[in-house]
Amino acid sequence: MTEDGYNPYEMAQEQFDRIAEKLNLDEGLKDLLREPIREYHFNLPVKMDDGSTKVFRAFRVQHNDALGPCKGGIRFHPEETVDTVRALAMWMTWKTAVADIPLGGGKGGVICDPHDLSDREEENICREYIRAINQNIGPLRDVPAPDVMTSAQHMLWMMDEYETIQGEKYPGVITGKPQDMGGSKGRTEATGYGVIYVLRELLKELDRDIKDTVASIQGFGNVAQYAAELFIEYGGTVVSVSCWDQEDKKAYSYYKEDGIDLEELRSITDRFGSIDKEKAKEKGYERLPGEDWLKHEVDVLIPAALENAITEDNVGEIPSAVDMIVSGANGPITPEADEVLEDRDMIVVPDFLANAGGVTCSYFEQVQSNQNYYWPKEEVLGKLDNSMTSAFYEVWDLAQRKNVRMRDAAYMIAIQRVAEACEARGWV
Ligand code: NAD
């Protein structure tokens, strides 16, 4: 359960149940798909800089691997719960399936706050995590990646620990590595760019010009920054971004009517995606409460921070001008809020389609690492664009044909693919 009372795992299961009913899934298959096939819980004893040992609770959840090895990030967050990890693992199963890549769904998490840790302590957590899980991951089993508050450096420490234990090199054991250490070119940009490839196609279908489109983005981390980058490159305007402020322990949004200057904001943002509030003020940004990100008169909202951003409490504050939501974050809309959005005919591109660029590029990284052959950035981004565009149209076309919302169409495609793989393997 998160602080605000929403349980993402219950949310993920509700979403699944609704579509499983529509697809008339076999009972056994339903039981198999509504829960993870395996999960691991650890207490990691970690040496701290002051010589003490601190124990961190950690998880790895493997939701389903019928389509291929599990895939999913490892999140460092003080409010991480096993249910959040379960939900995220389940959404990874649907994400890899809708993106049509031969991987299953997994996710990991460590309950910790990197703001309070030194680099050495973070390295110790990474190595300890791999000591705990190394028997149960691997290029053909489960391949972790970065997520909230984990980076390429964390992935490199984890890969190094895995290789030390195995006594061999395994560049394909983890993705999101630094580029000069087997990471794929384009991986850093992939999730945010993928969000915008999908938005670009949506606007084409609606016969609207991206150059006349205004967005408000929640978050200013990896996904938000690269979504803003490509959107602005295509000619769109971002009027607001938001972030967590560690000092004040609350979120702020930063607004500029004419549009943000991305490089200017990046230059005053730390590695956690938090903008320096004093410097932002000097540069003319209006600082507003974090929740104001969804109150602006824009065309599109891009939630790109954490889950449960749009709830029944704040959904009514979205102005009528907004008619599209493209979900960069995982699980940003609660089911109650989604019902209100449905009544409003809001076009919602669901998270596991819109943010599938990250896992698609991670898959490309796995392919490159396993072959020890690396592609140029243009090739990676070109393949990514093709893959996101075709996933978008599969979902869009089904939604039009069946007269259902994009979320339902995406779920139908994903669940059907995983169900067929389970059946073909003879699991049910
Ligand atoms: P990140 O850690 O780089 O950035 C998170 C951002 O959210 C930061 O700017 C932080 O300040 C901000 N934030 C945190 N709490 C907030 C709040 N209450 N209000 C406003 N802003 C807040 O993380 P990221 O990698 O950009 O991931 C963002 C979301 O996208 C997560 O839901 C993640 O699971 C999802 N996602 C990430 C990837 C990826 O490749 N990074 C892929 C798919 C999905």
Separation CA 340–CA 344 (nearest Å): 6
Query: Does residue 1 have a pLDDT over 50?
Result: no
Among 92, 148, 327, name the best residue to mutate to test ligand 1's pocket (greatest count of ligand atoms within 8 A of Cβ). Answer: 148
Distance 219 CA to ligand 1 centre (A): 6
How confident is the model over 24-31, as a mean pLDDT?
Answer: 95
State the closest ligand 1 atom to the C-alpha of 351, by its place in the atom list counted from 1. Answer: 44
Residue nearest to atom 1 of ligand 1 (CA): 221
Residue nearest to atom 42 of ligand 1 (CA): 358
* Active site (annotated) includes residue 107: yes
Please choose, from the candidates 322, 356, 325, the residue with its C-alpha nearest in 3D space to the C-alpha of residue 338: 325
**Domain 188-354 adopts which CATH fold?**
Rossmann fold (3.40.50)
Please choose, from the candidates 295, 288, 227, 297, the residue with its C-alpha nearest in 3D space to the C-alpha of residue 262: 227
Q: What pLDDT, on a 0 to 100 scale, did the predictor assign at position 335?
A: 87
Beta strand 237-245 with 250-255 is: antiparallel
User: Partners of 46 in the beta sheet?
Assistant: 54
331-362: pLDDT as tens digits: 999 989 999 999 999 999 999 999 999 999 99
Q: Are 272 and 244 in contact (CB under 8 A)?
A: yes
**Nearby residues of 278 by Cβ (< 8 Å), 6 or more positions away:** none
Q: What pLDDT, on a 0 to 100 scale, did the predictor assign at position 306?
A: 87
Q: Amino acid identity of 170? A: Y
Separation CA 428–CA 105 (nearest Å): 19
380-422: pLDDT as tens digits: 999 999 999 999 999 999 999 999 999 999 999 999 999 999 9
Among 184, 222, 311, name the best residue to mutate to test ligand 1's pocket (greatest count of ligand atoms within 8 A of Cβ). Answer: 222
Q: What pLDDT, on a 0 to 100 scale, did the predictor assign at position 4?
A: 58
Distance 19 CA to ligand 1 centre (A): 27
How confident is the model over 10-14, as a mean pLDDT?
Answer: 92
How confident is the model over 132-160, as a mean pLDDT?
Answer: 96
Domain with CATH 3.40.50.10860 in the chain: 8-28+38-173
Q: Which residues approach ligand 1 with their CB closer than 6 A? A: 147-149, 191, 218-224, 242-244, 251, 272-274, 290, 304-306, 328-330, 355, 358
Distance 149 CA to ligand 1 centre (A): 8
Residue nearest to atom 4 of ligand 1 (CA): 221
Q: What pLDDT, on a 0 to 100 scale, did the predictor assign at position 6?
A: 78
Residue nearest to atom 14 of ligand 1 (CA): 244
State the closest ligand 1 atom to the C-alpha of 331, by its place in the atom list counted from 1. Answer: 32
State the closest ligand 1 atom to the C-alpha of 330, by its place in the atom list counted from 1. Answer: 32
How confident is the model over 88-92, as a mean pLDDT?
Answer: 97
Distance 37 CA to ligand 1 centre (A): 27
| End-to-end alpha carbon distance in the chain | 31
Q: Are 346 and 322 in contact (CB under 8 A)?
A: yes
Q: What pLDDT, on a 0 to 100 scale, did the predictor assign at position 103?
A: 98
Q: What pLDDT, on a 0 to 100 scale, did the predictor assign at position 307?
A: 87
Residue nearest to atom 28 of ligand 1 (CA): 305
**DSSP designation for 118:** -
Burial (0-12, 13-18, 19+ Cβ within 10 Å), 233:
exposed
Candidates 107, 185, 256, 295; catalytic one: 107
Residue nearest to atom 20 of ligand 1 (CA): 243
Beta strand 70-77 with 142-146 is: parallel
Query: Does residue 274 have a pLDDT over 60?
Result: yes
The pLDDT mean for the chain works out to 96
Q: What pLDDT, on a 0 to 100 scale, did the predictor assign at position 2?
A: 53
pLDDT band at 5 (very low <50, low <70, confident <90, very high): low
Distance 83 CA to ligand 1 centre (A): 18
pLDDT band at 3 (very low <50, low <70, confident <90, very high): low
Domain with CATH 3.40.50.720 in the chain: 188-354
Beta-sheet strand order (sheet of 142-146): 38-47, 53-64, 105-111, 70-77, 142-146
The model's pTM is 0.94
Burial (0-12, 13-18, 19+ Cβ within 10 Å), 135:
exposed
Distance 142 CA to ligand 1 centre (A): 23
191-239: pLDDT as tens digits: 999 999 999 999 999 999 999 999 999 999 999 999 999 999 999 999 9
Distance 223 CA to ligand 1 centre (A): 6
Residue nearest to atom 2 of ligand 1 (CA): 148
Q: What pLDDT, on a 0 to 100 scale, did the predictor assign at position 161?
A: 98
**Domain 8-28+38-173 adopts which CATH fold?**
Rossmann fold (3.40.50)
State the closest ligand 1 atom to the C-alpha of 250, by its place in the atom list counted from 1. Answer: 18
